[in-house]
Amino acid sequence: MSDAGTAPRGVGVVVVAAGSGTRLGAGIPKAFVNVGGRRIVDWAVDGARAVPGVVHVVVVVPPAHVEMPIPPRRDVDVEPDPELTEALYAGAAADRVPVTVVAGGAERSDSVRAGLAALGTDIDIVLVHDAARCFTPAAVYERVIAAVVAGDRAVVPGLAVVDTMKVVGPDGLVVYTPDRSRVRAIQTPQGFARVALEQAHASGVHASDDAMLAEECGIPVRVVDGDPLAFKVTTPADLDQAHKLLASAPTLWVIGGLPGTGKTTAGRVLAAEEGATHLRVDSIEVALLGAGVDEVTSEGYAALYAVARDQLRLGGSVVADLVNPIPLTREALRAVARDAGASIREIQLVCSDAAEHRRRVENRAADIPGHRLPTWADVEARQFEAWPESVTIDTAGLDVEAIVRQIRGRVPEGRG
Ligand SMILES: Nc1ccn([C@@H]2O[C@H](COP(=O)(O)OP(=O)(O)OP(=O)(O)O)[C@@H](O)[C@H]2O)c(=O)n1
Ligand SMILES: C[C@](O)(CO)[C@H](O)COP(=O)(O)O
């Protein structure tokens, strides 16, 4: 158990995905049903591994699926670089969180026990999460973890109920009506000091959630705020809701590339057409310098991530206009989208005609007061690593309308 107020050694998440999905009736295990181009279990695993503090995810699947491929982990160098701020690393480590796949059991509690047994020994806080609650926001995980770190041994997220509740007997007659203001609909992730969860499961009995087993051992269970987005995909109507949710999610458009490739011109038009916020890193950097920051390295990017996250969380789409030169900055932007439940579209603009590119760089006028425009030599010397996750659009000979048409037509929707 972690002592009150001490930092945990490690948080592990057991994602239970071994159910059959009888009520959904999809003909395949529910966690393997596709939503927005990905399996329900992939959404859930990605959500769990992106939570700060999580160091291991165990996903529990039906025995026949134990060889399932895990969503790819990208190779990103996240070794701290003293030149870069912490914020640049935020989320970049998510793809490095190891994922172990194990076979589940006949009942949910059997599957939880299988997952618990596979967690690393460095884990002292365990979250048990239903794969079926695949769009649970990071904030719910964070509230649960914070309460366990603060000393609670068992913590569950819950929502107030809107209907009047009745406890009904086997004869169909109402036994009593609980005071609705004291009733909560309980969600996952449910968080535990590891020893408490092990104690709760030691009897080997079954329960519809893990907290109930803890209650039976006399362990106090705290309820923190849940979130409607943590709904459980159970019936076809829930699956419909999941599809609709994705269709209405905001988009983070990332328009990257060297100076002079057309990012700002295209980004402005795209933002206007999409009703999105245009976030231009050049403007932020000039503002930081104007406000007294001596030299800007990663600060402008860090500020852009924060503002983008706020906009996306409010449901507004964002066009991020920045060079985005290295895997680290690209990962950080994916983490922003992931945190906000937004989709991401990554576009790299290039100009294959060097003469035209040079003309653009040398002939443009500064449109941000105080902005020192890069020279052609600066552009030629600029570091820019391969960006395989992006769609590349060659802007040579294209006007802005044609560039935006290509952006819209060619860029597949991805996840953060
Ligand atoms: N033997 C089981 C049963 C359930 N679960 C998981 O527990 C979570 C909550 O269960 P539920 O939503 O009821 O899923 P199913 O059991 O698959 O659905 P149904 O009850 O409709 O068959 C799901 O993520 C499910 O995959 C599990 O890992 N092992
Ligand atoms: C754990 C749970 O999601 C909390 O609400 C729920 O009890 C799972 O029950 P299910 O019957 O396995 O869906």
**Which pLDDT score, from 0 to 100, does residue 71 have?**
60
Using CA atoms, how far residue 114 sits from 32, 35, 105, 187, 308, in Å, is 19, 26, 8, 21, 39
Q: How far apart are CA 187 and CA 128, in angstroms?
A: 10
131 lines ligand 1 (CB under 6 A): yes
Q: What is the Cα gyration radius of the chain?
A: 24
**Which pLDDT score, from 0 to 100, does residue 80 have?**
43
Let me know whether 227 and 318 are in one domain: no
CATH label of the domain that carries residue 47: 3.90.550.10
Q: How far apart are CA 149 and CA 151, in angstroms?
A: 5
Cα-to-centroid distance, 140 and ligand 1 (Å): 20
The conformation of residue 135, written as its DSSP 8-state character, comes to: T
pLDDT in tens, the chain (416 residues): 444 556 667 999 999 999 999 999 999 999 999 997 789 999 999 889 888 889 999 999 999 999 877 765 443 334 444 444 444 444 445 557 889 999 999 999 999 999 999 999 999 999 999 999 999 988 899 999 999 999 999 999 999 999 999 999 999 999 999 999 999 999 999 999 999 999 999 999 999 999 999 999 999 999 999 999 999 999 999 999 999 988 888 999 999 999 999 999 999 999 999 999 999 999 999 999 999 998 888 899 999 999 999 999 999 999 999 999 999 999 899 888 887 888 899 999 999 999 999 999 999 888 898 888 999 999 999 999 999 989 999 999 999 999 999 998 876 556 55
3-state secondary structure of 143: helix
Q: How far apart are CA 192 and CA 128, in angstroms?
A: 8
Let me know whether 195 and 328 are in one domain: no
Comparing CA positions, the residue from 156, 48, 62 lying closest to residue 99 is: 48
Cα-to-centroid distance, 201 and ligand 2 (Å): 16
Measured by CA distance, the residue closest to atom 10 of ligand 2 is: 208
Comparing CA positions, the residue from 107, 114, 29, 105 lying closest to residue 68 is: 29
**Which pLDDT score, from 0 to 100, does residue 92 have?**
47
- Beta strand extents in 199-242 (DSSP E only): 221-225
Domain boundary pick from 204, 237, 270: 237
CATH label of the domain that carries residue 276: 3.40.50.300
The residue whose CB lies within 8 Å of the most ligand 1 atoms, and thus the one to mutate among 130, 186, 201, 209, is 130
**Which pLDDT score, from 0 to 100, does residue 248 have?**
85
Could you list the residue range(s) of the whole structural domain that residue 331 is in? 249-415
Domain boundary pick from 203, 237, 271: 237
**374: Cα within 13 Å, side-chain hemisphere:** 17
**Which pLDDT score, from 0 to 100, does residue 90 have?**
46
Let me know whether 225 and 264 are in one domain: no
| Ligand 2 nearest atom to the CA of residue 130, by list position | 3
**Which pLDDT score, from 0 to 100, does residue 5 have?**
53
Structure tokens that stand for 378 in this block = 């600066």
Measured by CA distance, the residue closest to atom 8 of ligand 2 is: 208
Q: Judge whether 60 lies within some domain.
A: yes
| Ligand 1 nearest atom to the CA of residue 44, by list position | 24
Q: Judge whether 5 lies within some domain.
A: no
Q: How many domains does the chain have?
A: 2
Let me know whether 57 and 151 are in one domain: yes
Let me know whether 265 and 118 are in one domain: no
104 lines ligand 1 (CB under 6 A): yes
Q: Judge whether 72 lies within some domain.
A: yes
Let me know whether 253 and 175 are in one domain: no
Q: Count the Cβ atoms, other than its own, within 10 Å of residue 173.
A: 8
Q: How far apart are CA 310 and CA 335, in angstroms?
A: 13
Q: Judge whether 325 lies within some domain.
A: yes
